[in-house]
Amino acid sequence: MPKPRYAQVSLDSTPYYHCTSRCVRRSFLCGIDPLTGHNYEHRRQWIEDRIQALSGIFALDICAYSVMSNHYHIVLHINQAKAQAWDDGEVIERWHRLYKGNAISQHVSQGQPLAAAEAEQLREMVKQWRQRLMSLSEFMQVLNQDIARAANKEDDCTGRFWEGRYKSQALLDEQSLLACMAYVDLNPIRAGIEDSLETSDYTAIKQRIAAVKSTQQAGHIPAQPSTLMPFIGQHGKEGLPFSLTEYLELVDWTGRIIRDDKKGSIKQQTPSILEQIQMDTDHWLYTCQHFESRFKRLVGSAYALRAVCKRLGYQRTPGLRDCLAYFT
């Protein structure tokens, strides 16, 4: 029996999650429908724009994403500290960018005074809204509903656009986080749709490369997109604990091996970032090609996996054999 969502998302275990949603009823996010000849390529821009817009509302950081023909991938970081730092006014303002709120919150937005009972009621609502603004489920629901409504309107039909609720994988450590991000960023290359990272449209990696190239001058610190979680290369600060340059080199190196028909030579030397996280090269290449299909809803080292399952009250440890095989 599938685990309920609350038993799959635990901030005590990890703030990083890989989410996937797929279309149903032969629906397309992009490309040309061979039966009707209709071009749906513009729908990829819909979802990329909405991801970036929602990242400015929710306390969720975008680590990686890729939009494919009938599905999309996104790696999210739940930023609890950010949500807790908002005052009540900012929570209300962000909530109103998603929903109308209610009469009490509208009065606050208009600067009208509240009675004591209304103020108490508002405090309870703000508490709930703060939690929902850092909720993985709320983010995915808003994103998928917006795209489904727009697609149904364009197709002049009703009914499901997505095959069901999104699927998620909890990324428990640095190895699983790095492998999952590379897996997501390499989706177009692995599928044979694109030949290079620079031309991989509707992906986070293309944004990162474009930002770096915009500041590619001597003495300049490489720029990073404001809509994506930055690489900081160290622990203890808010950001991805890897070097941006090393990550881009690693993904490029991995993509050239996965697609041996790509132009350019393949460096034989193992990227230093793999040595830092102590991951075997063959295991790395395998996980970057089979991350979603090989691993279950919890991904990481056996130690991390057992600890999380114990904390969540699982009687079994799902995916233990594969995690033992590929993650140290």
Summarize pLDDT for 124-155 with one digit per residue, the tens: 999 999 999 999 999 999 999 999 999 999 88
The verdict on residue 18 lying in a domain is no
- Within 10 Å of residue 138's Cβ, how many Cβ atoms? 17
Say whether both 127 and 221 belong to one domain.
no
What does the alpha-carbon distance between residue 61 and residue 283 come to, in Å, rounded to a whole number?
27
Tell me the per-residue pLDDT of 66-118, one tens digit each, with 9 for 90 and over.
999 889 999 999 999 999 999 999 999 999 999 999 999 998 888 888 889 99
- pTM equals 0.91
Say whether both 286 and 223 belong to one domain.
yes
Boundary-marking domain end, from 132, 165, 200: 132
Sign of the dihedral through C-alpha 276, 278, 280, 284: negative
Coil vs helix vs strand at 197: coil
Q: Supply the DSSP symbol for 240.
A: B
Say whether both 178 and 290 belong to one domain.
yes
- Within 10 Å of residue 65's Cβ, how many Cβ atoms? 26
Task: Give residue 145's pLDDT.
Answer: 95
Say whether both 100 and 194 belong to one domain.
no
What does the alpha-carbon distance between residue 232 and residue 263 come to, in Å, rounded to a whole number?
30
Find how far residue 205's CA is from the centre of its chain.
12
What does the alpha-carbon distance between residue 101 and residue 248 come to, in Å, rounded to a whole number?
42
- Within 10 Å of residue 221's Cβ, how many Cβ atoms? 7
Domain that holds residue 184: 173-294
The verdict on residue 155 lying in a domain is no
The verdict on residue 327 lying in a domain is no
Say whether both 126 and 188 belong to one domain.
no
Whether the pLDDT of residue 217 is over 80: the answer is no
Say whether both 196 and 268 belong to one domain.
yes
The verdict on residue 193 lying in a domain is yes
Contacts of residue 29, Cβ cutoff 8 Å, sequence gap at least 6:
23, 40, 43, 44, 47, 67, 68, 69, 70, 71, 72, 147
Say whether both 191 and 118 belong to one domain.
no
What is the number of structural domains in the chain?
Answer: 2
Task: Give residue 265's pLDDT.
Answer: 44
Contacts of residue 328, Cβ cutoff 8 Å, sequence gap at least 6:
175, 278, 279, 301
Q: Could you tell me if 67 and 47 are in contact, meaning their C-beta atoms sit under 8 angstroms apart?
A: yes
The verdict on residue 200 lying in a domain is yes
The verdict on residue 51 lying in a domain is no
Say whether both 202 and 111 belong to one domain.
no
Among 143-147, 151-155, 235-239, 256-260, the minimum mean pLDDT is found in: 235-239
DSSP 66-82: EE-SSEEEEEEEE-HHH
> What end-to-end distance do the CA atoms of the chain give, in Å?
29
| Helix residue spans in the chain (DSSP H) | 42-55, 80-85, 88-96, 103-109, 116-132, 136-155, 174-185, 187-190, 204-214, 244-258, 272-276, 281-294, 302-312, 320-326
Within 13 Å, how many C-alpha atoms sit on residue 299's CB side?
Answer: 27
Whether the pLDDT of residue 7 is over 60: the answer is no
Say whether both 218 and 289 belong to one domain.
yes
The verdict on residue 46 lying in a domain is no
The verdict on residue 96 lying in a domain is yes
Task: Give residue 186's pLDDT.
Answer: 96
* 268 band by pLDDT with thresholds 50, 70 and 90: low
Beta bridge partners of 72: 21, 67
Whether the pLDDT of residue 260 is over 80: the answer is no
Say whether both 209 and 118 belong to one domain.
no
Find how far residue 284's CA is from the centre of its chain.
20
Say whether both 115 and 195 belong to one domain.
no
Say whether both 188 and 249 belong to one domain.
yes
Chain position carrying tokens 């807790």: 84
Whether the pLDDT of residue 49 is over 90: the answer is yes
